[in-house]
Amino acid sequence: MAPRVNEEHLQQRRANIMSTATEVFIKNGYEHTTMKHVMDATGVSRGGLYHYFSSKENLFEAILEEDLRNEVAKTESLLKTTGSHWNLLMQLIYGKDAKSDAKMDPLAPSKLEFFVTGRNDERRKTYAKKRYDILLPIFSNVIKAGQESGEFSNCYDNEQIGRSIITFIDGIALGEAILPQGFIQPEKQFNLFADFLKKALGI
């Protein structure tokens, strides 16, 4: 039994570090966070921290992967619900309640920073690509299903509409990150974009 309890304990400790580190990244941003900040916030020793994560980049990637897994799991559970494809698409964009006032991911500005400052690094670019390759089919598959069921018009390519959704969400995340909160009126913008999509999908 002992090894298993130990393994669970180690996993729990790793999860705790990631959870506290997420708060640290939200507070300081990616560039201005150091492993020392994470050690101080978690109370874990230097050796303890490096046992789990070889670098700040490695730690941040672990958090990104965890977020992406949660996103995919949430999507898969949404896809099992019945209802219109339009409603499903709105839930994918806005979150479970399909309302545009859903809070933005508080880690989003740090994620932007991670990808923007590391854009000339091959590893970082590959990582951004992998993320896009997971996100795009989430949107384009729902649009395709809606087109096949006759709920949506076939006028536009499902993948291109999926790309435009990611572009718009990213543009909002960027505006919210670099301008005073609410300044770009994200709710109204999402409502207008939903209307653009409605027209393009023939709803």
Nearer of residues 16 and 34 to a copy of itself, judged by Cβ: 34
**Binding region for a copy of itself (CB under 8 A) out of 34-42, 50-58, 64-72, 154-162:** 154-162
Alpha carbon distances (Å) from 13 to 8, 124, 135: 9, 26, 29
Output b/e per residue, 12-45; b: 16+ Cβ within 10 A. eeeeebbebbbebbeeebbeebeeebbbeebebe
- The correct pick among 36, 54, 125, 153 for binding a copy of itself (CB under 8 A) is 125
The answer to whether 123 contacts a copy of itself (rule: CB under 8 A) is no
- The correct pick among 53, 60, 115, 139 for binding a copy of itself (CB under 8 A) is 115
Supply the minimum distance, in Å, between the C-beta of residue 76 and a copy of itself. Answer: 25
How many chain residues are in contact with a copy of itself, going by CB under 8 A? Answer: 45
Supply the minimum distance, in Å, between the C-beta of residue 75 and a copy of itself. Answer: 20
Supply the minimum distance, in Å, between the C-beta of residue 158 and a copy of itself. Answer: 12
Rounded CA gap, 110 and 107, in Å? 5
Write the binding mask 164 to 203 for a copy of itself: x where contact by CB under 8 A, - elsewhere: x-xxxxxxx-xx-xxxx--xxx--xx--xx-xxx-xx---
Q: Can you tell me which residue has the tokens 């050796």? A: 47
Rounded CA gap, 136 and 90, in Å? 15
Residue 142 CA neighbour count, 13 Å, CB half: 26
Supply the minimum distance, in Å, between the C-beta of residue 112 and a copy of itself. Answer: 5
3-state helix, strand, coil in the chain (%, to 5): 75, 0, 25
Contact 70, 34 (CB under 8 A): no
AA identity, residue 157: D
Positions touching a copy of itself (CB under 8 A) are: 29, 31, 109, 112-113, 115-117, 119-120, 124-125, 128-129, 132, 156, 160-161, 163-164, 166-172, 174-175, 177-180, 183-185, 188-189, 192-193, 195-197, 199-200
